[in-house]
A and B are shown apart, each in its own frame.
Chain A
């Protein structure tokens, strides 16, 4: 391994932070908007959809796609920063 132990730990901590932020959004759009608070959000009309219903059937999927890609870009940047990229 080319990097020191402290650096490896710092890299891992930052990695965990990136993962946690992404998973927090992932949780809010799917479990939050489409399941736990679906009734409240359904009161809000959104381009012809009740908002909660839209999150469950369309919105969350769009957000999932965006999440994976922002994760990919953040991790590529992080790998370069710690010089662990391939």
Chain B
């Protein structure tokens, strides 16, 4: 069967499955809509959490990122898994015992303050929206590459599917769909990873294969180091970023992970405190299955990419030959994620360090016209062929978008068509599951935390459910808008989401649990300081006039959430100590949430 038919079958079949589950698991009450009735078994909750967490970024982008930055990618691998240790040890069991629906619920009640609640709502909405925009974009990329529809049509199809099961099923529908989506996405990631590892190293497990020795007698990593250095890149196994920067980035990603509202809310859905801890354990196992395969996929992909583009003898592969032998090259060129600029005019593709185009990060700005070999021409192609002959054998002529690595890997390795179709279905599953979880958090923040708890406490359960569904519809439309008109700064915006979660939500929750004396003044001051300092720093360097040599202690904006969190804790501590202790009943609530027994179902009042 052709790839197109297979892709339609795999993606269409998975859609039918999700819709079927959504109809089976409709939500009838706010409790079912917000926390799936509070009765999800831990293993199912673990899978749902894993699918919720592993977004298009984990599935599509992370292996590509590691593939291109080598060891510095460890910050992301550790940051996005180590956060679960914090979640399991410091947050999940206590928040479950607290027994409400949302993060703003906890912050508003623990700090007995509507101001604190509203700040938490604002953080939740900003964090979730920045995240969801990237997911819709991921769906669009997959559709445009494999189903030959326009990226925008892809986004709209994705919106329609999420609309269907998020609005209808609420948390209940989402949870069981996410279980199915986890199965699809983990299969879709592991199958090609096993194939790749077996093909490159002879070991079936990529976790072991990455340490294997190749026929040449060199290990995979040594080969990668050698190839990288020969082409003028830095060594794969050594880092480029400073130690303090990597340190802060890892802290920000870990604490950010533990502070993301859509992840935290998953732990409200289980019956007991014990189950909250166990769910975190299952979730991390399911996440680790994919994350430990990523370095292998990244490494093998890098070797394959370099060897395909530079040909067997390392002097470059002819573009004409790539058109038939490596069709993916031109297919991705057509979607605009690969570009070739024949700088030395020899008709061969050469890949090395440096930029081939003058755009930001070497991105080409394509014209409609084609060149003499049928390649796409760009307005900003570099017209010289200068390079440092001491470092590399030729000038770089290729732009490869990092995001295509996982999707293109099976193509590059010439795996069977059904594997490629499976990867497409998996990427869509990863993007949709995360998008749905985020949309639910946004709609809950609006209907529950704003409407019910802040503006009009007298609305009935039915009305609240209606507001929740309306809010979900509006949120989907806004998310779709950002998917179609993506802000050109997605990476910075995602860093902002983690930075905000790390500097505002995470310390506020931790201090609320572990420091009984913390009061509303301290919490509000702390959250504002964390929030404002992080936002200003990121804004100044991402959109303002900041340059990297002005970084505070050499910390890049992505890692600044760590500094924000430290400021939050210091200011919170000082302000709290200078003002009155919290009321007695609040201190009793804190004492109570530390003891597991007596956890009631997640409730409203």
Interface residue ranges, A against B (CB under 8 Å): 1-3, 8, 11-12, 15, 19, 22-23, 26, 30-31, 34-36, 38, 42, 46-50, 53-54, 56-58, 60-62, 64-65, 67-69, 71-72, 75-76, 79, 84-86
- Given A76-B274, A86-B274, the answer on whether A19 and B595 have CB atoms closer than 8 Å is no
Q: Knowing A48-B212, A48-B220 touch, does A58 contact B594 (C-beta < 8 A)?
A: no
Given contacts A8-B594, A50-B221, A72-B281, contact A58 B250 (CB under 8 A): no
* With A38-B71, A79-B596 already in contact, 18 other A-B pairs whose C-beta atoms are closer than 8 Å: A1-B598, A8-B591, A8-B594, A26-B82, A26-B85, A30-B82, A30-B250, A35-B250, A42-B237, A53-B74, A57-B210, A58-B292, A64-B288, A65-B285, A65-B288, A68-B277, A68-B281, A72-B88
Q: Give the size range of B's interface with the partner.
A: 35 or more
Describe B's contact surface by its main secondary structure.
Answer: helix
Overall SS of chain A's interface: helix
A60 adjacent to B292 (CB under 8 Å): no
List, sorted by A's number, 28 A–B pairs whose CB atoms are closer than 8 Å: A3-B595, A8-B594, A31-B247, A34-B74, A35-B74, A38-B71, A49-B211, A50-B221, A53-B74, A53-B221, A57-B71, A57-B74, A57-B210, A60-B77, A60-B78, A60-B82, A64-B85, A64-B284, A65-B288, A68-B88, A68-B284, A69-B281, A71-B88, A71-B89, A72-B277, A75-B93, A79-B596, A86-B599
* In contact, A64 and B597 (Cβ under 8 angstroms): no
Please pick, from B211, B292, B597, the residue contacting A47 in the complex, using a CB distance under 8 A. Answer: B211
Most chain-B CB neighbours within 10 Å: which of A30, A50, A79? A30
Q: For the complex, what is the distance from the CA of A61 to the CA of B212, rounded to whole Å? A: 20
Beyond A12-B594, A69-B281, whether A61 also contacts B288 by CB under 8 A is yes
How long is the Cα–Cα vector from A34 to B78 in the complex, in angstroms?
9
In the bound complex, how far is the Cα of B74 from the Cα of A2, in angstroms? 46
B238 cross-chain contacts in A, Cβ below 8 A: 42
Are B220 and A75 closer than 8 Å at their CB atoms? Answer: no
When the two chains form their complex, are residues A64 and B280 in contact, meaning their CB atoms are under 8 A apart?
Answer: no
Q: Assess the A1–B595 pair: CB atoms within 8 A.
A: yes
Contact A56/B213 with A36-B247, A50-B237 known, Cβ cut-off 8 Å: no
Q: Which residue of A lies closest to B254 (CB)?
A: A30
Q: Which of B218-252 contact A (CB under 8 A)?
A: 219-221, 237-239, 243, 246-247, 250
Q: Determine how close the nearest CB of chain B comes to the CB of A45; give it in whole angstroms.
A: 9
Interface centre among B73, B208, B594 (most CB of A within 10 A): B594
A23 vs B84: C-alpha distance in the bound complex, in angstroms? 12
In the assembled complex, the Cα of A59 lies from the Cα of B512 at a distance in Å of 32
Q: How far is the CA of A42 from the CA of B444 in the complex (A)?
A: 47
A79 touches B73 (CB 8 A): no
B274 touches A85 (CB 8 A): yes
At the interface, yes or no: B295 with Cβ under 8 Å from chain A?
yes
In angstroms, Cα B74 to Cα A64, docked, is 14
B469 at the A interface (CB under 8 A): no
Please give the distance in Å from A70's CB to the nearest CB on chain B: 10
